[in-house]
Amino acid sequence: MSDFYDVITVGGGPAGLSAAIYAARSGASVAVVESLTVGGVAAATPEIENYPGYESISGYELSQKMSEQAQRLGARIIYGKVEKIRDGQVKRLQLSGGEELTCSALVLAPGSTPRKLGVERESELLGAGLSYCATCDGNFFRGKHVVVAGAGKHAASAEEYLRNIAQKVTVVNPRVTPVTKLIGNPLAAIEISENGTARVIECGGLFVELGYEPSTELVKGFVQTDQAGYVICNERMQTDKAGVFAAGDIVRKPLRQIVTAAADGAIAGQFAAAYAKTR
Ligand X SMILES: Cc1cc2nc3c(=O)[nH]c(=O)nc-3n(C[C@H](O)[C@H](O)[C@H](O)COP(=O)(O)OP(=O)(O)OC[C@H]3O[C@@H](n4cnc5c(N)ncnc54)[C@H](O)[C@@H]3O)c2cc1C
Interface residues with ligand X (CB under 6 A)? 10-16, 33-36, 40-42, 45, 48, 50-51, 81-82, 109-111, 114, 132-133, 136, 215, 218, 248-249, 256-259, 261
Shortest separation between residue 8's beta carbon and ligand X, angstroms? 10
| Nearest Cα residue to 266 out of 7, 16, 78, 8 | 16
Give the total residue count for the chain: 279
CB-nearer residue toward ligand X: 109 or 266: 109
CB-nearer residue toward ligand X: 16 or 204: 16
CB-nearer residue toward ligand X: 33 or 192: 33
Shortest separation between residue 241's beta carbon and ligand X, angstroms? 17
Shortest separation between residue 261's beta carbon and ligand X, angstroms? 4
Shortest separation between residue 195's beta carbon and ligand X, angstroms? 31
CB-nearer residue toward ligand X: 210 or 276: 210
CB-nearer residue toward ligand X: 82 or 179: 82
Give the count of beta carbons closer than 10 Å to the beta carbon of residue 226: 11
| Nearest Cα residue to 205 out of 165, 255, 152, 256 | 165
Shortest separation between residue 156's beta carbon and ligand X, angstroms? 19
Exposure b/e, 143-179, CB count within 10 A at least 16 = b: ebebbbbbbeebbebbbebbeebbeebbbbebeeebb
Strands (E), 48-188: 76-79, 82-86, 91-95, 100-108, 112-114, 130-131, 145-150, 168-172, 179-183
